[in-house]
């Protein structure tokens, strides 16, 4: 050790300084990694919150559609299927033109 300043330190002090610097670098690296992990978790949380919001909106939309179907029996797929079956049966009996002039929009005032 040719440096006069370093010669004033004991071996233990030099060893402490060496390890202190290494520990600070290690702590800084861990802090950067923790911040990166936090940023990544925040991004995932934002994405999950968005997905939850979209699912809630879809569920609300489906519930509204279901309520509309319940309020309007002509929109119920089972009822529509039954009506189509009845029309087909009547077409077999009364001919292919049966029901062609029917207005199946039960909500309109046209007759």
Q: What is the mean pLDDT of the chain?
A: 86
> Does the pLDDT at position 103 exceed 80?
no
Q: How far apart are CA 7 and CA 5, in angstroms?
A: 5
Q: How far apart are CA 21 and CA 13, in angstroms?
A: 12
Q: What percent of the chain has pLDDT over 90?
A: 40
38-80 per-position pLDDT tens digit: 999 999 999 999 999 999 999 999 999 888 777 777 777 888 8
The per-residue pLDDT for 40 is 96
Record the pTM: 0.44
Q: Is 80 left (phi over 0), alpha (psi -120 to 50) or beta?
A: alpha
Q: Radius of gyration over alpha carbons of the chain, in Å? A: 39
Q: How far apart are CA 108 and CA 111, in angstroms?
A: 8
DSSP 109: S
């Amino acid at each position: 050790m040719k440096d006069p300043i370093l010669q004033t330190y004991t071996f233990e002090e030099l060893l402490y300084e060496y390890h202190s610097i290494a520990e600070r670098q290690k702590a800084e690296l861990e802090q950067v990694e923790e911040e990166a992990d936090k940023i990544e978790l925040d991004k995932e949380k934002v994405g999950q919150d968005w997905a939850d919001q979209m699912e809630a909106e879809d569920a609300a939309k489906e519930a509204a559609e279901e309520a509309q179907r319940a309020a309007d029996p002509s929109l119920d797929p089972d009822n529509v299927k039954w009506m189509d079956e009845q029309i087909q049966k009547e077409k077999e009996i009364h001919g292919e033109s049966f029901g062609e002039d029917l207005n199946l929009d039960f909500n309109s005032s046209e007759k």
